[in-house]
């Protein structure tokens, strides 16, 4: 089963223009606030009208501007979980879940609702009203309601954004459980890079209404097609780049030459490396040069509960507070070398560096 999407819609600041196909593997739609992510979902669901394009699900055309086809939202067989949950405040959990099932016989309706309440761990809350539920409980209710109609596609708009860390972890586990058995198109909108990576198999990066990248998540994270996509997927380190005749790459802003495994058909504009891919060598014996190994000096450090972010210069620091690279290491490793006098040595491995043409 596939969801085919081609949508063009003029928005206030830019035009939403996307075309992609989603199948059984969950698709994460990643982008900053205001990129058009929610509008994209609403057009697919039929809650907003696209200016031009086509939406087809399985063997049904839901929208086609050329053929003047526009199937109403309630007949699209698409389940949607809204960012603010959109539960009916005057209905119980059970009544919210069964809302879209009035066409079913009473016995089938009751059996389906009971199964979903069990599946989403809401049994003890079945007769409660939304105002008495936590954010995670409301989110699970909204998810059960979306699944109740046995949708042929599932759309989730920032499903974890309003939850605290503990509840986010619980609901994320619930979503992973649902995706493992759903086996139909599922689109998850988020601006959180880690959520996009953990929950989706495919990735679509949206920037001001246009598709900046689309494909397998691992490929996009390992080799972003542009500096913009690298930044939107969390890469902190970029330098202007120039290819040398011998095949090495000169990182102009870092002041060093590196070898990069990635082949690029045209002259690169930037070279990049993700902060967690910078490798600290804990021992150096002798001063001989090694491939992609450079001395570094610490400018400053920033602590989180489990990681340390280190801001580094690849040349002896002067009075300025500028840094060349941002690295992330787990606390356990940081504690092993933090008291060692600088310079330390870092390796920018050829397989972790990537080039972009723009």
Tell me whether residue 357 is in a domain.
Answer: no
260 and 281 within one domain: no
pLDDT at 284: 60
Is residue 261 domain-shared with residue 281, that is, in the same domain? Answer: no
Quick one: 238 and 300 in the same domain?
no
Structural domain total, the chain = 3
pLDDT tier at 324, thresholds 50, 70, 90? very high
> Which DSSP helix (H) or strand (E) runs through 100?
none
- pLDDT tens for each residue of 109-124: 889 999 999 888 898 9
Model pLDDT, residue 59: 87
Given a cut of 80, whether residue 225 has pLDDT beyond it is: yes
Spatial separation of the C-alpha atoms in residues 191 and 193, rounded to whole Å: 6
* C-alpha span between 273 and 131 (Å, rounded): 46
Q: Could you check whether the bond before residue 11 is cis, i.e. omega within 30 degrees of 0?
A: no
- Residue 302 sits in a domain whose CATH number is 2.40.50
Whether 261 and 211 map to the same domain: the answer is no
Comparing 36-40, 275-279, 335-339, the range with the smallest average pLDDT is 335-339
Cα–Cα dist 82/141, whole Å: 11
Lowest mean pLDDT among 86-100, 162-176, 200-214: 162-176
Q: Say what the alpha-carbon torsion angle 166, 172, 175, 181 is, to the nearest 10 degrees.
A: -110
d(CA 68, CA 9): 16
pLDDT at 257 over 70: yes
The answer on 197 and 306 residing in a single domain is: no
- Let me know whether 197 and 309 are in one domain: no
C-alpha distances in Å from residue 326, one per residue of 188, 195, 253, 254: 29, 22, 13, 12
User: What is d(CA 316, CA 17) in angstroms, rounded to the nearest whole number?
Assistant: 47
56 has which bridge partners?
A: 4, 61
For residues 172 and 141, membership in a common domain is answered with: yes
| 192 and 65 housed in the same domain | yes
- Any bridge partners for residue 298, and if so which? 312
pLDDT at residue 312 greater than cutoff 70:
yes
The CATH code of the domain that includes 80 is 3.40.50.300
* 8 Å CB contact between 156 and 188: yes
How confident is residue 288, by pLDDT bands cut at 50, 70 and 90? very low
- Are both 264 and 295 inside the same structural domain? no
Where a domain ends, among 223, 241, 263? 223
- How many angstroms separate the CA atoms of 352 and 334, rounded? 21
Half-sphere exposure of 150 (CA within 13 A, CB side): 8
Bridge partners of 214, per DSSP, are 204
Domain end, chosen from 272, 287, 304, is at 272
Same structural domain, 108 and 7 = yes
Residue 31 sits in the same domain as residue 115: yes
* Percentage of residues of the chain with pLDDT beyond 90: 70
Rounded mean pLDDT, 242-267 = 90
Same domain, 50 and 28: yes
Summary count for the chain: helices (H), strands (E): 9, 21
Q: Angle between the 106-119 and 135-148 helix axes, to the nearest 10 degrees?
A: 140
Mean per-residue pLDDT, 237-253 = 93
Please tell me the predicted confidence (pLDDT) of residue 47. 95
**Structure confidence by residue, pLDDT tens digits, 161-189:** 877 777 788 888 888 988 988 989 999 99
Boundaries of domain holding 126: 3-223
Kindly state whether residue 352 falls inside one of the protein's structural domains.
no
């Amino acid at each position: 089963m596939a969801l085919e999407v081609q949508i063009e819609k003029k928005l206030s600041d830019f035009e939403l223009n996307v075309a992609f196909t989603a199948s059984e593997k969950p698709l994460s739609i990643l982008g900053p606030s205001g990129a058009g992510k929610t509008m994209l979902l609403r057009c697919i669901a039929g809650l907003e009208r696209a200016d031009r394009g086509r939406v087809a699900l399985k063997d049904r055309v839901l929208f086609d501007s050329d053929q003047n086809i526009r199937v109403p939202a309630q007949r699209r067989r698409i389940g949607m979980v809204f960012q603010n949950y959109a539960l009916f405040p005057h209905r119980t959990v059970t009544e919210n879940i069964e809302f879209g099932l009035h066409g079913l016989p009473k016995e089938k309706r009751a059996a389906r609702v009971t199964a979903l309440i069990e599946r989403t761990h809401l049994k003890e809350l079945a007769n409660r009203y939304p105002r008495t539920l936590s954010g995670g409980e409301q989110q699970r209710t909204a998810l059960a309601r979306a699944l109740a109609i046995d949708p042929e596609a599932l759309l989730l708009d920032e499903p974890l954004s309003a939850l605290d860390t503990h509840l986010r972890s619980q609901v994320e586990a619930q979503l992973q459980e649902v995706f493992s058995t759903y086996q139909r198109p599922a689109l998850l909108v988020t601006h959180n890079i880690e959520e996009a990576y953990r929950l989706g198999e495919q990735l679509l990066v949206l920037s001001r209404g246009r598709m900046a990248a689309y494909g397998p998540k691992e490929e996009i994270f390992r080799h972003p097609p542009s500096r913009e996509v690298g930044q939107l997927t969390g890469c902190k380190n970029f330098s202007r780049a120039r290819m040398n005749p011998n095949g090495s790459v000169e990182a102009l802003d870092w002041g060093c030459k590196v070898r990069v495994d990635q082949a690029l058909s045209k002259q690169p504009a930037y070279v990049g490396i993700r902060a967690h891919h910078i490798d600290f060598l804990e021992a150096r014996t002798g001063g001989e040069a090694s491939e992609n190994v450079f001395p570094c000096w610490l400018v400053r450090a920033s602590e989180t509960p489990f990681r340390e972010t280190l801001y580094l210069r690849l040349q002896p620091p002067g009075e300025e507070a500028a840094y060349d690279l941002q690295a992330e290491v787990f606390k356990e490793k940081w504690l092993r070398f933090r008291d060692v006098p600088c310079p330390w040595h870092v390796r920018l491995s050829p397989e972790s560096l990537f080039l972009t043409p723009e």
